[in-house]
Amino acid sequence: MSEASYIWLILGMSLVTYLPRWLPLAVLAGRRLPGWLVEWLDLIPVAILASLLAPLMAISAATGKPDPLRPEFLTGIITVIFALKVKSLSGTVIVGMLVYWLISSLI
C-alpha cells in the first residue's frame, strides 16, 4: 500500500470511528430525554461491561466453546469475590493480575 493510500485509509478509519463516538454526545447531551430512554441508557454501562467480560472469561479461544477451567475464568471468580469484599479498583486490578499470573503459570 502506498504512502498516500495509507493516509487515506487511516483518515477513513478515523472518520467512521469518530462519528459513532461524537454523534450521540452532540445530539443527546443536555436534552430532556423520555423516562424509558434514560432508564435504558442507565443500564447500558453495566450491560456493556458484562458483555465484554463474560465471553472473554468463559469462552476458550482455542475451541470457541465455554471452558470453566480457563485461567481467565478462574481468575475472574476470585477477582469478582475480591471486588465485592474490598471495594477498591486499584486493589482489584492488582489482585486480578497477580492471581492470573499465578494460575496461568501453574496450569
Partner 1 sequence: MKHQPAETNHRVKTGICQGIIAAWPVCLGYVPIGLAFGVIAQKAGLQPYQIGLMSMVVFAGSAQFIAVSMLAGGAGAVSIILTTFVVNLRHFLISSSLAIYMGGTRKWLLSLFAYGITDESFALNLSRFKQGNWGITQALTVNHVSNFCWITATVAGGFAGEFIPAGAFGIDYALPAMFIGLLVMQLKGRRYIVTAVLAGTLAVIFAMILPGNFYIITASMLAALGGVLINRRLKPEQTGE
Q: Which of 61, 62, 65, 106 binds partner 1 (CB under 8 A)?
A: 65
Q: Restricting to residues 30-49, which ones interact with partner 1 according to CB under 8 A?
A: 30, 33, 35-36, 38-49
What is the smallest separation between the CB atom of 52 and partner 1, expressed in angstroms? 6
Q: Which of 84, 83, 59 is nearest to 69 (CA)?
A: 59
What is the smallest separation between the CB atom of 69 and partner 1, expressed in angstroms? 16
**Distance between CA atoms of residues 42 and 21, nearest Å:** 17
Q: Restricting to residues 71-100, which ones interact with partner 1 according to CB under 8 A?
A: 72, 75-76, 79-80, 83-84, 87-90, 92-100
